[in-house]
């Protein structure tokens, strides 16, 4: 069956639920997991919606990304350890999270991606978030969507 499961996260509550479900599934089938986080790249301008609202030093922004990645991926690492599931962690910066998720699945030779139906941005006009839709459309790797 499945041997290596990619667990992408954006730190949202629903993503944490997908992580728990993915680890439970991995334990049941004897698979290992890779926790993955794709952060937006550091930029000097801060935006709220489409409007610039401030300036952040790029080095400080990079530190914030590292802290967020550590916090989000620690959830995966701790859950995998508690379940006795082998786990590795990976994070990158990317303007295109869906592309990064698909590339991570290929790079790590994953045979399943378990991800939340939507993330921080919540519901749009449909039931699936835009990143989930893009992963479903692009991935040759099987995708399990957690709702």
Q: What is the pLDDT of residues 102-115, one digit of tens each?
A: 999 999 999 999 99
Torsion of CA 77, 83, 86, 87, to 10 degrees: -20
Kindly indicate the confidence band of residue 51, based on its pLDDT and cuts at 50, 70 and 90.
confident
Reported as a pLDDT band with limits 50, 70 and 90, residue 61 is confident
Confidence (pLDDT) at 41: 85
Residue 122 has pLDDT above 60, yes or no: no
The pLDDT, as a whole number, for residue 119 is: 66
pLDDT score, position 120: 55
Rounded Cα distance between 102 and 85, Å, is 22
d(CA 107, CA 143): 16
CA–CA distance, 118 with 120 (Å, rounded to integer)? 7
Q: How big is the CA angle at 19 (ends 16 and 25), to the nearest 5 degrees?
A: 145
Interaxial angle between packed helices 130-138 and 97-107, expressed in degrees from 0 to 180 and rounded to the nearest 10: 40
Q: Per-residue confidence at 40, pLDDT binned at 50, 70, 90? A: confident
Residue-level pLDDT at 124 = 40
Q: What average pLDDT does this structure show over 29-50?
A: 87
Tell me the whole-structure pTM to 2 decimals.
0.88
Predicted local distance difference test score (pLDDT) of residue 127: 45
pLDDT band at 59 (very low <50, low <70, confident <90, very high): confident
Report pLDDT for 16: 97
| Mean pLDDT, residues 78-85 taken together | 98
């Amino acid at each position: 069956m499945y041997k290596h499961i990619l667990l992408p996260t954006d730190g949202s509550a629903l993503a944490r639920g997908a992580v728990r479900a993915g680890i439970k599934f991995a334990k049941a089938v004897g698979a290992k997991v890779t926790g993955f986080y794709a952060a937006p790249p550091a930029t000097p301008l801060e935006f709220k919606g489409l409007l610039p609202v401030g300036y952040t030093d790029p080095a400080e922004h990079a530190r914030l990304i590292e802290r967020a990645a550590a916090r989000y991926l620690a959830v995966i690492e701790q859950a995998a350890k508690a379940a006795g599931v082998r786990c590795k962690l990976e994070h990158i910066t990317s303007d295109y999270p869906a592309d990064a998720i698909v590339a991570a699945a290929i790079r790590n030779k994953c045979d399943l991606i378990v991800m939340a139906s939507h993330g921080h941005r919540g519901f749009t006009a449909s039931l699936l978030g835009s990143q989930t839709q893009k992963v479903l459309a692009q991935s040759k790797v099987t995708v399990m969507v957690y709702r």
